[in-house]
Every structure is written in C-alpha cells, then in structure tokens.
Chains A and B, each alone.
Chain A
C-alpha cells in the first residue's frame, strides 16, 4: 500500500511555544490530506481538511488560528500548533487520499505540552 510519513513521532514543548508537524505522502501525490486528533481510548476526531494550493477547511469548533495548516505541495501538509498549552497535548494523525479514494495514515505524533 501507499506510504504516509509523519514527523516527528513525538514532541515535548513548553507552554506558549509553537510546534510543527509534517505529513508526507512518499510514493503518491495527494491533493487532499486530513488532520485528526485522538484522545486516549477514543476514536479519531477530524480537525481539518487540507487541500493543496488552497486554504484548509476546518471542522466546527476547531480554531483555525491555533491550528495552522499548510499544504504547499502535492506530497506535503504541515500542521502548526501555535502558542501551545497543556490542553493541546494529544495524539495527532494525518491521512492522505490516493486517486482511488483510499485513505492512508501517518504514524501519528504524540504532543506533550508542559
């Protein structure tokens, strides 16, 4: 299957700083990528849809100024958590769609804000 690489796999940052997470489709081009957040023992919660060359579409309740998404190329989308606070600590996962609309996911990023 297709490969989606997410980096870093874990990060610890101080409260008030910003953290950038990268999501790359390694062997296919993805015009659409998605960013999810997952709390312990819960299912994935969609945060936003990232479209190459245009602004991301955010789900209701997700602060677009806090979670900045950039999809500058067909193989890379980034999520920046700005001015992170402890409540932003979570597991963030990206996915990318192939041309056959099959979704492949990154390995996830464990963010801990201290």
Chain B
C-alpha cells in the first residue's frame, strides 16, 4: 500500500530564505508526482507535475526533483516571500489515477 509522508510538518521562516520541503513515498512504481499548494479555506493549486521519466521540473522560484529509486521528491522554494505562506502537498497517483496525498507542510513566511 502506497504511503506518502512529508517533512517537516510545519515551517516558519523569515522572508528571503531558500526552503526545502520533502516528500517520501513507499512504492516507487509511480508514473508521476505532483506538488500543490492550498491556501486556508481554498482548493488546491497545482504547482508542478514531474513525470516518472523526469528528474526535475522548474517554475519560477520553484524547483521540484524526483528520485524514484529512493522514493523521494523535494520542492525547493527560492527567495521565499510572505505570499508563499500556505500548506504544500505532494501527491502520487495509484489505482487508475486516484491521488494519494502526503501529510502536508504548513509554511509560514514572515516579513
């Protein structure tokens, strides 16, 4: 059974810092991994999708890497801003495209 874990559970940093959020999964037989952010009381916003054949994806200040063999993905946020404050979720598909979500990292960036 696939299990997805995220570390740390919460993070509070001053703006400007470079951040690393970690996601680990127990079954490496995935065909993609997706990172989302969720603002309080809102739906999920897709940030990055990494296909299993890719090692990383970049979008602006965000960079996500994927190491299937070790069951890990990392989301790197450069030069963090208060607007980055949100909960970040990673997710992998299983059993006909259902998504299993990680436990989430609650990020607070203060001015």
How would residues 28 to 62 of chain B score, 1 for a CB under 8 Å from any chain A CB and 0 otherwise? 00011010100001111110010000000000000
Please, which residues of chain B bring their CB within 8 A of the CB of A100?
49
Count A-B pairs with CB separation below 8 Å. Answer: 51
Measured CA separation A49–B93 after assembly (Å):
13
* Residue on A nearest B106 in the bound complex, by CB: A41
The CA of A109 and the CA of B59, in the complex, are separated in Å by 28
Q: B43 and A101: CB pair below 8 A?
A: no
Given contacts A49-B98, A97-B97, contact A102 B34 (CB under 8 A): yes
Total chain B interface residues with beta-carbon distance under 8 A: 22
Task: Determine whether B25 belongs to the interface, using a CB cutoff of 8 Å to chain A.
Answer: no
Task: Verify A107–B98 contact, CB threshold 8 A.
Answer: no
Q: Is residue B64 within 8 Å, beta carbon to beta carbon, of the partner chain? A: no
Give chain B interface residues in 71-95, CB to chain A under 8 Å. Answer: 89, 91, 93
Pick from B34, B41, B103 the residue with the most CB of A within 10 Å. B41
- Cα–Cα distance between A107 and B36 once the two chains are bound (Å): 13
Q: How far is the CB of B43 from chain A (nearest CB, A)?
A: 4
CB distance from B48 to the nearest CB of A (A): 10
**Within the complex, which residue of B41, B49, B98, B103 is in contact with A43, where a contact is CB–CB below 8 Å?**
B103
Q: Which listed residue, B42, B44, B45, B97, touches A32 by the CB 8 Å rule? A: B97
Whether the Cβ atoms of B43 and A106 lie closer than 8 Å is yes
B residues near A (Cβ < 8 Å) are 31-32, 34, 36, 41-46, 49, 89, 91, 93, 96-99, 101-104
